[in-house]
Structure 1
Amino acid sequence: MIESRGNKVVLIGTGAVGSSYAFSMLNQGVCDELVLIDLNEQKSMGDVMDLNHGVLYAPTSTKISFGKYKDCFDAALVVICAGANQKPGETRLELVEKNMAIFKNIVGQVMDSGFDGIFLIATNPVDILTYATWKFSGLPKERVIGSGTILDTARFRYLLGENFGVAPHSVHASIIGEHGDTEVAVWSSANIAGIPLKDYLAKDEGEDQEEKMKEIAEQVRDAAYEIIEAKGSTYYGIAMGLTRISRAILQNQDVVLTVSALLEGEFSHNDVYIGVPAVINRQGVRDVVEIPLSEHEKELFDHSVHTIKKAQEPFWK
């Protein structure tokens, strides 16, 4: 049973995202043991040394080590950050072919170890690669999770908080759909302390409400491209999001997060991994939460589903 596996986490891929995730996990004291795996063994071993030198100042004495795929056998959670990176001007979907082959090899080696825990996927295009991990692993759908729109939702709530002068924690709003260009900002149910955001927007006299909403949604959608142009890749935000999901799993929190989960009739769609609100606990995805959508939001979400299915279809004929 997963419950008996302790809080051991194996991280595969110690590039910018993976090493940032390891640093975040150590700082928050989320797991008892963290094992790092990477093709670049020298770099990964350096990360292990560097992280261990910070254990004294962490909230708990996390055991951190360099490992091999055989070390996945008793892990509660395997987090995959390995794969080809998104280059400037390249969309997440253009990464599909390169990363599909990489994932078939990685997931195969993890499963050969006897692993029977939960997969958490961060590599882009995350929805397609989470679906691939589910297929390659043969694990139940609830135990294969993608980071989905966890970062997009964080960007959305941050920008809304900045706009309205409240902490992001007080903003209740979601980005759903593909983690990419077809993502959907759910304005219809977005609120601050129960007050609809549209009411807040209406208070700004002389400002076009629809134009402001469009501007914020575009800022969220295009944030990754802006960051990639500035420094090559995004990693701090997604690392924090991955840590949040990991904590929800390992601490059995039953918290709702916007992750990539398999739809089986929810939102009127099937056989696709996509970013949706879901209850996360020690079993993985307990339930997908079908938040109400406006007709326009439904149309946008349908388009997002179609985009993902079209991109991954050639691999599963």
Structure 2
Amino acid sequence: MATKQMLFSSIGDQLPSNTDKITVVGVGDVGMATAFSVLAQGISSDVALIDVNQQKMEGEMKDLQHGCMFLNAKISAGPDYSVTANSKICIITAGLRQREGESRLNLVQRNTEVLKTIVPNLVKYSPETVLIVVSNPVDILTWVAWKLSGLPKSKVIGSGCNLDTSRFRYFIGERLGVSPESVDAYIIGEHGDSSVAVWSSATVGGVRLRDINPTVGTDSDCENWKELHKMVVDAAYDVIKLKGFTNWAIGLSAASIARSILRNSDKIHPISTYVKGICGIDHEVFLSLPATLGRDGVSQVTNLALSDDEQCRLKISAANMAEIMAGVEF
């Protein structure tokens, strides 16, 4: 273009493109909350979107592009997976919702068919990528993505209980009148009904809650702290009743995982990862345990000192996942 040639003088070869590219698969409510969180927090300045709904995808791309002066970012999108090439992280939010009366196994099978198209294409164009699965049921679909990808298990991560833990810390902090950042407590296991609240090691400001109230989180606790775990499990349902879907918190959660990976931070997140042989689990499943995240995904998983009850509940959670996974057909 003549105008461009007159406006600028070339001073050398073109600089290499951004090396921290992130792809978000799915431009629904969760996908766009994830993309926006990544861009607004400056986690990556190179984001690609992909979705089967090309019109929606193009609209979301243009809407973000029109705000690029405020984001200092490059946003691309397209129907072909080549647009995702050289992504350091690929975040999968696409998936089918559960039908009324549908079994969990049937939902998993339908979403497995969806991942059969998505995962191999992502790995084809970004063979060194780290996959973050957000689609539900997240633990089982993370296992499916690992099977389909051929990637090391350390490079396939589910968002898992990262958000559940955020909700847990928020509820504890709200009750005590402190910031969630001052609370250190985890939800582990399944992202769902069989999740486990780890009350035995929960601390606030460095003080272990069970040193103050030995029954905290148990059925015999007169203060009924146990209800906070139920609030965590019911949290998504409560939001869905009010606004029809959840998106902002899970988008922020996925972005926080991506940040820890790209920054090579070695930060610990309760994410869904391969846990066979850890904490007494003998099933080949992906469940949430506190794991250290860096440039290559999961580098290590914390060996939690669980109470007997928590250990039992975690094993039940793993067995529930294994039972459903046994029926998945590839």
Amino acid at match of 1:14: V
Q: Choose which of 164, 169, 178 in structure 2 pairs with 1:152.
A: 164
For 1:248, the equivalent position in structure 2 comes to: 260
Instruction: Determine the structure 2 residue equivalent to 1:99.
Output: 111
Q: Equivalent of 1:307, from 297, 320, 328?
A: 320
Residue 191 of structure 1, CA deviation: 0.4
Alpha-carbon spacing, 1:30–1:314, altered in 2? closer, same or farther (3 Å): same
Kindly state the Cα deviation for residue 113 of structure 1 after the two structures are TM-superposed.
Answer: 2.8
Which of 20, 24, 28 is the equivalent residue of 1:11? 24
Give the structure 1 partner of residue 174 of structure 2: 162
2:239 equivalent to 1:230: no
Matches of 2:161 and 2:33, distance apart in 1: 18
Alignment RMSD: 2.3
1:21 partnered with 2:62: no
Q: TM-score, normalised on structure 1?
A: 0.91
User: Which SS does the other structure have where 2:269 is aligned?
Assistant: strand
1:70 to 56, 78, 82: 82
Check whether the contact 1:73–1:116 (CA below 8 A) recurs between aligned residues.
no
Q: Which has the larger radius of gyration?
A: 2
| Structure 2 SS opposite 1:180 | coil
Task: Report the number of matched residues.
Answer: 310
Q: 1:56 to 1:114 in 2, by over 3 A?
A: closer
Pair 1:41 & 2:48 matched = no
2:189 equivalent among 170, 177, 186: 177
Q: CA deviation at 1:209?
A: 2.8
| 1:268–1:88 CA distance, 2 compared to 1 (3 A) | same
| C-alpha contact (below 8 Å) 2:131/2:155 kept by paired residues | yes
Match for residue 129 of structure 1 among 130, 141, 153? 141
**Aligned residue in 2 for 1:262:** 274
Pair 1:55-2:68 in alignment = yes
User: Structure 1 residue 289 and structure 2 residue 302: aligned?
Assistant: yes
The answer to whether the 8 Å contact 1:26/1:55 transfers is no
Q: How far apart are the structure 1 equivalents of 2:126 and 2:179?
A: 44
SS of alignment partner, residue 124 of structure 1: coil
Unaligned stretches of 5+ residues in structure 2: 1-16
* CA distance in 2: counterparts of 1:250 and 1:168, whole angstroms: 24
Q: Does 1:279 align with 2:279?
A: no
- Determine the structure 1 residue equivalent to 2:92: 80
Equivalent of residue 218 in structure 1, options 230, 247, 253:
230
Indicate the larger mover: 222-231 or 241-250: 222-231
Identical-residue share of aligned pairs (%): 40
**Kindly tell me: are residues 203 and 140 of structure 1, through their superposed partners in 2, closer, same or farther at Cα, counting changes over 3 Å?**
closer
Structure 2 vs 1, CA of residues 226 and 114 (structure 1 numbering), >3 Å: closer, same or farther?
closer
TM-score (norm 2): 0.88
Change (3 A) 1:62 1:73: same
The offset of 1:115, in angstroms, is 2.7
Tell whether the 8 Å contact from 2:161 to 2:187 is kept in structure 1 after alignment: yes
Residue pair 2:215, 2:221 contacting (<8 A) in 1 also:
no
1:120 maps onto 2:132 in alignment: yes
